[in-house]
Structure 1
């Protein structure tokens, strides 16, 4: 089972579209309304494994304050404004889709931030710290930003959003850290880092694929009635990700060395779409189901864009420094 899950995680570029197609087919032949009950357990399955491997100690690591400060400014000043403006431009009369764009903009970083930074030979420790800070800050600020930027066009159930975040972020985080502590006490930190830490994340992928499939199933009939609507949803996503990559790359090149610049790009472009999906469906009901479709499509754009960006990293930031030769 672990081998299958690891393959699905490694090939998200195929497994996510596959889950979307499966959900679309399933929702077209059966009533998908009953699948709503699966959202909460799938969300827990998605978030808890990530929290077991989350390194909260990274927050105490010295140095990198300037890099982290720039990342926070992009993630919580530029990106919320970009998500809000894109929603107003593309979906002025569709509040659910404006909600979807804003949710993705408000929740930065994911486990893939660290993975893609490693693939591009960037500063992985900085990416780890960025991921933890982004998760905590995004979870705390999201209800406030939603109310301030969208409260006039969408009813924002502040208490419901806060409870949803507590349920899908902070409870799994507490349980995950307790699990990590227990495993370390049994086998030691080295055993945890080399074995247990690698076994949990693939299970998170199963939760992601499940939620994506459910999201598509809930909107299957609407999609099949007007398949051209998917193109209208993809356009703003492509525009936002393209602009985000350009802005982060320009800022990274101007202010930081290669490794830090790469961490900045992946720490500000990769969004926590899993949590955005869970909040949309869990807190916003019918509007959330419509918002979830756009967020599910964002997975496809995000994974493809991140993979292509790795190929151009050396052209943008130059090749990584060669290791120093050993003295004879």
Structure 2
């Protein structure tokens, strides 16, 4: 078995160290948050954007783009993509909507922030969670691309339907119109996904042509993986230092927002993984399916919340709490995914008892 690197072996420790470092810097260096906020273009934080792009580049550079077409031709391709669409655009948004109303019936702005988070399907950090849990990189890349297209087309409509129409049915007068342009969503998707996607494609095709696929997959790809994890830690430090004062000033509000978010991540993760097992998806694709369904596009949510409601609004505050909860929870769920693998999958990554497409055992010497 391949031995984990020092960085990977203690990644959970580094994650929590980065969280506490960010909080500490935000408190001990009062002007730090103002400085970081000044490094923004519109609602886009340049430090966070750089961290996210560097974080997403290595997983996308590892994708074997020449093999993507083969995924769509597999016998269960329609079932896999259909399941992903159902989880991401029916189950996920409606679950977050329900949890927001259950836990925050008296906090309309926080509730709206959670609802906007629920309809923003993940296109960024899922690539890292998938990589850490041993998921299928090619399948995850296709799901991310699918989510990107649907988000551009559907986000504005979903926001109107859930925040205004359906909320008003549940409690007359509580609905609030949210004007979000397709262009603003497209810009967010292009920034956080388009740049690393393009860089990953160019890197793979250029270096494979020059050095060969074996050198690329065995030498280059493992080395750049460290960049992803270091960028993740950098992004966490920046996020927590930016919001340290808010988190410490309103701890009870953070807890109230965090509880439905925690419930959402756990329910979506468990539901998706169990469904993947039931449908016979192998472990790598079950991981990609599950983490895509269980995580959210907080970059888009924060941009929308600030752009529509203002940086000091309760909606923006709830949107910011999202990634602060998601990061430590999802790293814990990476470890839970390994438990699922030990409990429900065999040595080939197939669901135990499901012998379809299982390779033959090697001949005994």
Q: Aligned equivalents of 1:198 and 1:91: distance in 2?
A: 44
1:300 aligns with 2:328: yes
More helix by share: 1
Q: What RMSD, in angstroms, separates the aligned Cα atoms of the two structures?
A: 3.0
Given that residues 104 and 295 in structure 1 are in contact (C-alpha distance below 8 angstroms), is that contact kept between their aligned partners in structure 2?
Answer: no
Moved more, 86-95 or 191-200: 86-95
SS in 2 for 1:324: coil
Q: Partner residue of 1:121?
A: none
1:87 aligns with 2:71: no
Q: How many residue pairs end up in the alignment?
A: 311
TM-score by length of 2: 0.74
Provide Cα deviations, 1:105-156, integer angstroms capped at 9, x if missing partner.
Answer: 687942432442x4xxxxx6xx334201211011122234331222344442
Given that residues 254 and 321 in structure 2 are in contact (C-alpha distance below 8 angstroms), is that contact kept between their aligned partners in structure 1?
Answer: no
Provide Cα deviations, 1:187-246, integer angstroms capped at 9, x if missing partner.
Answer: 111000001111222212222222222222222112112323343233223322332233
1:326 aligns with 2:363: yes
Q: Aligned equivalents of 2:293 and 2:340: distance in 1?
A: 23
SS in 2 for 1:103: coil
Q: 1:266 aligns with which of 267, 287, 297?
A: 287
Q: Aligned equivalents of 1:240 and 1:195: distance in 2?
A: 38
1:227 aligns with 2:251: yes
Q: Aligned equivalents of 2:278 and 2:292: distance in 1?
A: 23
Change (3 A) 1:276 1:246: closer
TM-score by length of 1: 0.81
Question: What are structure 2's unaligned runs of at least 5 residues?
Answer: 40-46, 165-175, 349-357
1:186 aligns with 2:210: yes
Q: Which has the larger radius of gyration?
A: 2
Change (3 A) 1:170 1:268: same
Q: Aligned equivalents of 1:130 and 1:190: distance in 2?
A: 21
Change (3 A) 1:231 1:288: closer
Given that residues 265 and 295 in structure 2 are in contact (C-alpha distance below 8 angstroms), is that contact kept between their aligned partners in structure 1?
Answer: no
Moved more, 190-199 or 302-311: 302-311
Shift of 1:271: 4.0
Q: Partner residue of 1:50?
A: 59
Shift of 1:35: 1.0
Q: Aligned equivalents of 1:275 and 1:70: distance in 2?
A: 17
Q: Aligned equivalents of 2:201 and 2:113: distance in 1?
A: 34
Q: Aligned equivalents of 1:11 and 1:21: distance in 2?
A: 16
Q: Aligned equivalents of 2:288 and 2:249: distance in 1?
A: 37
1:103 aligns with 2:103: no
Q: Aligned equivalents of 1:101 and 1:15: distance in 2?
A: 28
With a CA cutoff of 8 Å and minimum separation of 6, indicate the structure with the bigger relative contact order: 1
Q: Aligned equivalents of 1:209 and 1:13: distance in 2?
A: 11
Shift of 1:261: 4.5
Shift of 1:176: 2.0
Provide Cα deviations, 1:59-107, integer angstroms capped at 9, x if missing partner.
Answer: 2114141334323332333223323333343345112233234325687
